[in-house]
Amino acid sequence: MRRALTLVLSGLLATAVACSADEKVTTTPVSSAPVQETPATEQPISTQSPTPSPASSAAVGDTLDLTGNGDGEQLAVTVVKVVDPAGSKNEFSTPEAGTRFVAVQFRLKNTGTAVYDDSPSNGAKVVDAQGQQFDATIEDTTAGPSFPASVTVAPGDTGLGFITFEVPTASKIAKVQFALNSGFSGNTGQWNVP
């Protein structure tokens, strides 16, 4: 019995290690220079340098190239800004006592060959200074327009919107994370928040 249990546990451990080998966290920006803000109807003007320093970590304003699970799924994802705290859009969507809203604006540029058709909020998280992770909430804030529940971005096109998180009042947001395929892709982008 013990031998069978040991074999089963060994098999599960080997499977977990094999699955985790495909996971990666991307923190090296396409460029560490900020992208100039432009109205949504204009194409963004980039002041990016072509080769970032290998030791650089992405911060708010940087763009990360992320891939999905399917062929041709690729986005250039930018955390445009973090609004902390973000005001409630109306009196019906207020944070619970002891919490606040934090809104993160993402720019999703489809640089792949497949259509991006997903719910961006499912693949987004914020992480506080203690390492606690928080998923998105469906609330709207005064920070700006939120992504809808489902977003479709054709190759070459761009989507822009806020994702809202409800976090404890005492938490200091330290990182933002994003992954394609509703968070199930093996490639997660991570940005430091000052």
Q: What is the dihedral of CA 175, 116, 107, 68, to 10 degrees?
A: 30
Residue 9 CA to residue 6 CA, distance in Å, equals 5
Q: Give the residue from 49, 46, 107 showing the smallest Cα distance to 77.
A: 107
Q: What is the pTM of this model?
A: 0.76
- pLDDT recorded at residue 28: 84
Phi, psi of 163 (to 5 degrees): -125, 135
Helix/strand/coil (H, E, C) string of the chain? Answer: CHHHHHHHHHHHHHHHHHHHCCCEEECCCCCCCCECCCCCCCCCCECCCCCCCCCCCCECCCEEEEECCCCCCEEEEEEEEEEEEECECCCCCCCCCCEEEEEEEEEEEECCCCCEEECHHHHEEEEECCCCEEEEECCCECCCCECCCCEEECCCCEEEEEEEEEEECCCCEEEEEEECHHHCCCEEEEEECC
7 belongs to a structural domain: no
43-64 pLDDT, tens digit per residue, is: 333 333 333 444 579 999 999 9
Our count of domains for the chain comes to: 1
From first to last of its 194 residues, what are the pLDDT tens digits of the chain? 444 433 333 443 333 433 444 678 888 887 644 443 333 333 333 333 333 444 579 999 999 999 999 999 999 999 999 999 999 988 888 899 999 999 999 999 999 999 999 999 999 999 999 999 999 999 999 999 999 999 999 999 999 999 999 999 999 999 999 999 999 999 999 999 99
Residue 167 lies in a domain: yes
pLDDT tens digits, one per residue of 8-38: 334 433 334 334 446 788 888 876 444 433 3
Write down the pLDDT at residue 29.
86
Residue 18 lies in a domain: no
Q: Name the CA radius of gyration of the chain, rounded.
A: 19
In a domain, 4, yes or no: no
The answer to whether 114 and 75 have CB atoms below 8 angstroms apart is: no
Is residue 121 included in any domain, yes or no? yes
Give the chain's end-to-end CA distance (angstroms, integer): 54
Predicted local distance difference test score (pLDDT) of residue 31: 60
Within a domain: 16: no
**Residue of 97, 79, 105, 100 lying closest to 88 (CA atoms):** 100
What is the CATH number for 43?
2.60.40.1240
pLDDT at site 144: 95
Both tokens of 2, joined, read 């013990």
Cα angle 111, 62, 56 (rounded to 5 degrees) comes to 115
In a domain, 163, yes or no: yes
Q: Would 2 be classed as within a structural domain?
A: no
Domain span at 55: 25-192
